[in-house]
Amino acid sequence: MITRRTRQIFGLVAAIYAVYLFLVLAEGLSEDLMHVGTADPAWQFPYYFTNQSNILLLIWMVIFSVANLGQGALAERAGRLVNQAVATGLTLYMVVVFVIVACILNSFYSAQFEPVPSGGSLYLHVISPMLMLAIYLLYPWRGQATWRTVLAWMAYLFLYVILANVVGTFARWADGTQAYPYNFLNPHNYPGVALYLATIVGLSLAVFLVGCGLLRMKRRFDAEVVV
């Protein structure tokens, strides 16, 4: 049983990080808006999955803080979203952000990974995933999550791939190239459609296994650690 003091500590950590994350996201958005007309379009900011997932994390961190620091009806309503199903999905998204950057975009094995190319990148790609993973493992969530929960959260990832292909086909960046958010989602970078589809299927399987791995880690952690 989690104590009131422990809940307040979790809530305070989340509240502090939510403030920093808001400032990081606001800075990124303002930079994009300042370069409208001279660089890529302003809609690129919400287009990237990294920004989408961090915005979602920011909203949830505020809700998590209210649920753990507040009292009364508001805290009770916020607490409805503080459960393992929601936490599993958010953690999965944040782990995907980190792994995609560290293993595909600027991979470890090619010696290109730079965890701190900028302050904003550090928060969005490294600290957010690490903090969410820590909270996921340490906090005693309400309810249960299963592999079906993982599949439900993966539904948006499939929609995102479709969105990326639609936008990439019909829109262009400022330099005239097709507006795919990430090169590995551009089917034209593959020798054939079959290989592209195989890559998407392989990545989907990997994400599902990561999600199931998170569930297993949480069960083992709960069995060994008493909060």
Query: What letters, b where the CB count within 10 A reaches 16 and e where it falls short, cover 205-216?
Result: eebbeebbebbe
Residue numbers of the domain that contains 220: 4-224
Q: What is the pTM of this model?
A: 0.90
Q: Which two tokens stand for residue 147?
A: 């592999």
| Model pLDDT, residue 227 | 47
Cα–Cα distance for residue pair 32/198, rounded to 1 Å = 34
Q: How far is CA 152 from the centre of its chain?
A: 15
DSSP state letter for 178: B
pLDDT tens column, 165-212? 999 999 988 888 899 999 999 999 999 999 999 999 999 999 999 999
User: Could you give the C-alpha distances from 191 to 157, 186, 199, 206, in angstroms and in order?
Assistant: 23, 11, 12, 22
SS3 37: coil
Q: Are 36 and 42 in contact (CB under 8 A)?
A: yes
Alpha-carbon torsion 118, 119, 124, 130, what sign? Answer: positive
Higher pLDDT, residue 227 or 134: 134
User: Could you give the C-alpha distances from 175 to 23, 42, 51, 148, 152, in angstroms and in order?
Assistant: 29, 14, 22, 42, 37
Q: For the chain, what is the domain count? A: 1
| H/E element, 161 | helix 147-170
